[in-house]
Structure 1
Amino acid sequence: MEESKEKEKEACQELPSRRDMISNLPDSLISQMLSCLPTKEAVRTSVLSTRWKTLWLLVPSLRLASHDFPDYNSFISFVDKSLDLYREENSCLHNLELVIRKDYDDDQCCVTRWVDYVARHKVKHLDVECVLVKREFLEVVPLSLYLCESLLYLRLHRVLLVGSESVSLPRLKTMRLEQNVYPHEAFLQFFISSCPVLEDLSIVRKDGDNVKVLRVHSQTVTSLTIGFEPGDGHMLYHYFDREILGICIDSPRLKYLNINDDVSKCHILSSFISPSVKVNLGGVRYMSYYSGGVVFSNQQVASSFFSCISSVKDLVISETIMKLIIFCMKVEPLPQFQDLSCLEAKVCLVDVDMLPTLLESCMNLNSIILELTRPTVVTEQITAWDVPQCLLSSLEFVEIKCCCKAELVGMKLAKYFAENCVFLKKLVLRWRGYVLEEDNVLKDLLELSWRSSTCQIEVYGPLQMSIY
């Protein structure tokens, strides 16, 4: 017993020396260790000893959220003191990430002075998110941010950008602008075009942002995502004057375009689209074409729009865009999508019969993913279809996703592709309901007269079982 107590005593005596071993590590290594901790935890290490008092300031980042503090004033006090310490120690703060949720509408403003400080002290990564702030209480972005030559990444969520005749962000490569308010649409256009190396741009608009037509003119942007949020909650979709909301894009180096905008009705696309661009229109619910103050007819809408994107290689389209395509095909032939390799589309069941006509315009298609939607008309009938060129020469991958009550149509589609695709390498069929059983589906597919002798089959029913 006494021997055991003696060992415990020796162990306790050794403990301080172990702590000393950590303290004796180089500052650079300790700062790396602290950078793996949340900012609040890193700051708490300052109470360990005099040696640790300012070591957390070697970590060049602050990541804080107001809801992690007892109240809003405690949060402000903590950030103010932290920035004062960085200033006193002449430490670099390269990364500032803040999530701010005010307790009351009249809580003091703080973003302007904090952003002003880091903008003047060579910040590289700035992320400011203000949660559920009413328009009249939006925090103002300081003018110094527009002249921050060190900035590489910028995200501003729900703040007010004021006008300026001078913007210089020579190193900014990634920018996220979300639900902000701008002085006018010309400033937003100027702000974007004043970033000479900008590559990745994402814009989420809101009602009342002072922008009617969003104009993106950039010679460097390669990835562009555009969305729309209702905003303050009191404005419902049907109140929007969709005729005056639009998008105009002119970015010759664009490689990826994602439009997830179910509010704007006017989508103005310049002839910037190159074959290498992947276009995602999966969230579009309204489509119109507006140019020079003239609203074109539906036929002209379809013709102009699809001619604009006809050279893309990858295309994702919503059910709305699919219906627009079908409308166009009934009036006049579609433009030829000669370079289109991958197509992903949502198709309403009543429009399934138009698929072969669409595929006639995609003569070099390699991959297609079809999602069957809206089983308002349940039918198993698929008329005798022509076989477009891509099934005979290029199509290698087919995936069919069926909503409930669309399973039988999905099987008919699988049969169509299986019996007509010469070079098909893989066919995938997915469904949700219990109309079909995995084993029976696989058996029925294997009994088909497959045009390709080397095709792999996968079926996924509600049990999520994969069978090859």
Structure 2
Amino acid sequence: MEDSSTTNGEDWISKLPDSLLCHIFSFLSPKEAVGTSILSKRWENLWTLSPVFIFVIPLRLTVAMVPSHMQNTCGFKNSWKICAQLPNIYLFANTKFLYLNSVIYGDDASMQKLFSSCPVLEDLVIKRHDWDGVGIMNISVPSLKRSIFSLSLRSIGNYEYKVVINTPNLEYLEIDDYMYEDYSVNSTPSLVEACIQGTCVFGLLDGISQVKLLALSGDAMQSLHNIVPILPTFHNLTHLKLGIDDNVGCELLPNILQTSPNLKVLTLSR
């Protein structure tokens, strides 16, 4: 049977423009995309221009500096290890969507270096389960517009546990977290909507205080007992959705409404 990628011995796939090949990469697994790097010199780093990468189990991710003679390459070994470099060379230069599910990082710095290698990242989904090597989760991505964090973790050892979010262009934030109690969030007027489930601490609320639409789950409302009556003022908040039940939530309403002077719509759900 004739190979559909060639006609009369001519390689048509290699004649496709980089933009189309990168679009095709977005439908492949990282392992399949990286596998194309051995085809030719042109394909060596082409996979890094893919706009979408999805990493799932059993990925073990370590981002580190490499020797100068390897600065234009990416090395892989031991299941999945990514060695990415350089201050002036981006590993995922065109990636706008990144989905990380149960990734194991080398340390706190590995996560930070991964994000620094995505200069145009706009959508970020992180799902963390059990211990993954990161105590301080630092999300410093200036281009980020939408982020979803699901943190099903248990504290282990004497690590410092903290979430740092520095995203000046963020528009949507969703957090489902029952462990972290130390948040540092740099919010801006660009933040339109936030959904908080699980633990809700003052540092998180204060950081998103310029949000316009806010949803707090029943568990988040219950955790507010630890910080009421000290609540930030939500000057821009117009729509608020609260999860309440017979035991939790109703008694907090006066405090919450007092700190939301421009609220227009209040929705209570069970």
Same fold (TM over 0.5): yes
- Is the partner of 1:204 in helix, strand or coil? strand
Question: Within 5 Å, which residues of 2 pair with 1:165-244?
Answer: 165=65, 166=85, 167-229=90-152, 240=156, 244=160
Which structure: larger Rg?
1
Aligned to 1:276: 191
Change in CA separation of 1:329 and 1:206 when aligned onto 2, cut-off 3 Å: closer
Number of aligned residue pairs: give it: 230
Could you list the per-position Cα deviations for residues 160-182 of structure 1 after superposition, in whole angstroms to 9, with x for gaps in the alignment?
A: 22333214221111111110112
Of 234, 244, 251, which aligns to 1:353? 251
Could you list the per-position Cα deviations for residues 386-417 of structure 1 after superposition, in whole angstroms to 9, with x for gaps in the alignment?
A: xxxxxxxxxxxxxxxxxxxxxxxxxxxxxxxx
Aligned to 2:81: none
CA distance in 2, matches of 1:326, 1:225: 25
Of 155, 163, 172, which aligns to 1:247? 163
Change in CA separation of 1:119 and 1:178 when aligned onto 2, cut-off 3 Å: farther
Q: TM-score, normalised by structure 2?
A: 0.73
Aligned to 1:132: none
Change in CA separation of 1:340 and 1:178 when aligned onto 2, cut-off 3 Å: same
| Pairwise CA distance, 1:343 | 1.0
1:117 aligns with 2:35: yes
**8 Å CA contact retained: 1:248, 1:270:** yes
**8 Å CA contact retained: 1:150, 1:171:** yes
Question: Within 5 Å, which residues of 2 pair with 1:329-340?
Answer: 329-330=228-229, 332=230, 334-340=231-237
Kindly, what percent of the aligned residue pairs are identical?
Answer: 21
Aligned to 1:129: none
**8 Å CA contact retained: 1:179, 1:229:** no
1:97 aligns with 2:65: no
Could you list the per-position Cα deviations for residues 59-85 of structure 1 after superposition, in whole angstroms to 9, with x for gaps in the alignment?
A: xxxxxxxxxxxxxxxxxxxxxxxxxxx
Question: Within 5 Å, which residues of 2 pair with 1:305-344?
Answer: 305-330=204-229, 332=230, 334-344=231-241
**Uncovered stretches (5+) of structure 1, i.e. residues with no partner:** 1-49, 59-87, 99-110, 123-143, 231-236, 289-301, 373-468
1:155 aligns with 2:65: no
| Pairwise CA distance, 1:349 | 1.6
Change in CA separation of 1:121 and 1:346 when aligned onto 2, cut-off 3 Å: farther
**8 Å CA contact retained: 1:243, 1:266:** no
| Pairwise CA distance, 1:54 | 2.9
Aligned to 1:412: none
Change in CA separation of 1:306 and 1:181 when aligned onto 2, cut-off 3 Å: closer
Aligned to 2:264: 366
**8 Å CA contact retained: 1:160, 1:180:** yes
**8 Å CA contact retained: 2:213, 2:239:** yes
1:54 aligns with 2:8: no
Question: Within 5 Å, which residues of 2 pair with 1:22-33?
Answer: none
Q: Which amino acid aligns with 1:360?
A: Q
Greater share of helix residues, 1 or 2?
Answer: 1
**8 Å CA contact retained: 1:242, 1:265:** no
Q: Which amino acid aligns with 2:140?
A: H
| Pairwise CA distance, 1:184 | 1.6
Q: Which amino acid aligns with 2:234?
A: F
- Is the partner of 2:168 in helix, strand or coil? coil
Q: Which amino acid aligns with 1:215?
A: N
Change in CA separation of 1:120 and 1:200 when aligned onto 2, cut-off 3 Å: farther
> Cα RMSD between the aligned structures?
3.0
CA distance in 2, matches of 1:203, 1:321: 20
Structure 1 stretches of at least 4 aligned residues deviating more than 4 Å after TM superposition: 119-122, 239-243
Question: Within 5 Å, which residues of 2 pair with 1:30-45?
Answer: none
Q: Which amino acid aligns with 2:3?
A: T
Q: Which has the higher contact order (CA 8 A, sep 6+)?
A: 2
Change in CA separation of 1:243 and 1:363 when aligned onto 2, cut-off 3 Å: farther
| Pairwise CA distance, 1:224 | 1.0
